[in-house]
Amino acid sequence: MSVAGINVLVEETRAAQARAATPLLSIRGVSTYYGNIRALKGVDLDVNEGEIVALIGANGAGKSTLMMTIFGDPRAREGTINYAGRDITRLPTHEIARLNLAQSPEGRRIFSRMSVRENLQMGAAVNGGRHFAEDLERVCTLFPRLKERLDQRGGTMSGGEQQMLAIARALMSRPRLLLLDEPSLGLAPLIVKQIFSTVKELNQRDGLTVFIVEQNAYHALKLAHRGYVMVTGSITMSGTGQALLDDPQVKAAYLEGGNH
């Protein structure tokens, strides 16, 4: 092999290494404001391909704001957000949504006057109706409850069913990265367990990358490979899920007497 050939090989290997090392989602120094109130104060956070990353923190810490800031609504005033090697900080929300990342937002935001099927069709809107039947089949296998209720109006379903629908709707776009905001909120423990095990299955079987925001710190850290702790708009701690679970500070603030 010639020297030039070897050089090309070396270059290619380096590029591959760089690709592997670049996180799928990379947030650097992001600050978001509501009027003059600084809701996020220079947040740094990475989500690598294939990981489940959990963000825990108290009510009002800014977790959901971060989720929405990733989608440009509200827009980050400082810092950058990179997704799949592309700067998405200034992209309009609907264009971010077309980049294979999907969100099941805080409060589920089901279209209550649409049927379950129509909600799922909305989730598939970015694909323009391609492979809809196949994707519908797939999410109905994950959440059999939805299959029975395809023609029911979204607003008439129970909280747990709405949460399943919100996740299913996000999955309809065939995302590479799924953002889950408080999927356990207001749900019975059994349903929470079911939803978390589905997320785990999606991650292990399909290699779906998941970024999850939770108040339910114990379950979230159990599920996640890595976790971050957010306090009033700043990341104060990070580590593997287990390390955070064992950390005395995390234990005191989020786990002792918690809802696990």
Partner 1 sequence: MEFFAQQFINGLTLGSIYGLIAIGYTMVFGIIGMVNFAHGDVFMLSAFIALIFFLILTTWLGMTSVALVFLIVLVLAMVLTSLWGWAVERVAYRPLRGSFRLAPLISAIGVSIFLSNFVQVVQGARNKPVPPLVNDAFVLYRHEDYVVTLSYKQAIIMATTALLLAGFWYLVQKTSFGRAQRACEQDRRMAALLGINVDRTISLTFVLGAALAAVAGTLYLLYYGVVSFSDGFVPGVKAFTAAVLGGIGSLPGAVIGGLIIGLIETFWSAYFSIEYKDVAAFLILIVVLIFKPSGILGRPDVEKV
Whichever of 14 and 98 has its CB closer to partner 1, that residue is 98
* Three-state DSSP state, 193: helix
227, 239 Cβ separation under 8 angstroms: yes
136, 81 Cβ separation under 8 angstroms: no
Residue pointed to by tokens 């989020």: 254
219 by Cβ neighbours in 10 Å (0-12 / 13-18 / 19+) ranks as buried
User: Which residues, 6+ apart, have CB-to-CB distance to 243 below 8 Å?
Assistant: none
260, 218 Cβ separation under 8 angstroms: yes
Minimum distance between the CB of residue 42 and partner 1, rounded to whole angstroms? 25
Of the residues 65, 89, 103, 216, which one makes contact with partner 1 according to CB under 8 A: 103
- Specify the stretch interacting with partner 1 by CB under 8 A; choose among 6-14, 37-45, 86-94, 187-195: 86-94
Six-digit token string for 141: 């296998």
Six-digit token string for 215: 């108040």
Number of residues that this document lists for the chain: 260
Of the residues 123, 183, 227, 241, which one makes contact with partner 1 according to CB under 8 A: 123
Subset of 192-251 contacting partner 1 (CB under 8 A): none
Subset of 54-73 contacting partner 1 (CB under 8 A): 71, 73
97 binds partner 1 (CB under 8 A): yes
- Specify the stretch interacting with partner 1 by CB under 8 A; choose among 28-36, 101-109, 213-221, 227-235: 101-109
Of the residues 113, 130, 147, 260, which one makes contact with partner 1 according to CB under 8 A: 113
Of 149, 154, 150, the residue nearest 111 (C-alpha): 154
Q: Is the peptide bond before 175 cis (omega within 30 degrees of 0)?
A: no
CB atoms within 10 A of CB 92: 13
94 binds partner 1 (CB under 8 A): yes
175 binds partner 1 (CB under 8 A): no
Of 145, 159, 168, the residue nearest 188 (C-alpha): 159
CB atoms within 10 A of CB 175: 20
Largest CA distance in the chain: 69
Of the residues 112, 141, 158, 240, which one makes contact with partner 1 according to CB under 8 A: 112
118 binds partner 1 (CB under 8 A): yes
41 binds partner 1 (CB under 8 A): no
Of the residues 58, 84, 114, 150, which one makes contact with partner 1 according to CB under 8 A: 114
* Binding footprint of partner 1, residue count (CB under 8 A): 25
- Specify the stretch interacting with partner 1 by CB under 8 A; choose among 54-62, 119-127, 196-204, 243-251: 119-127
Minimum distance between the CB of residue 203 and partner 1, rounded to whole angstroms? 21
173 binds partner 1 (CB under 8 A): yes
Binding site for partner 1 (CB under 8 A): 71, 73, 92-95, 97-98, 103, 105, 109, 111-114, 118, 121-123, 125-126, 128-129, 169, 173
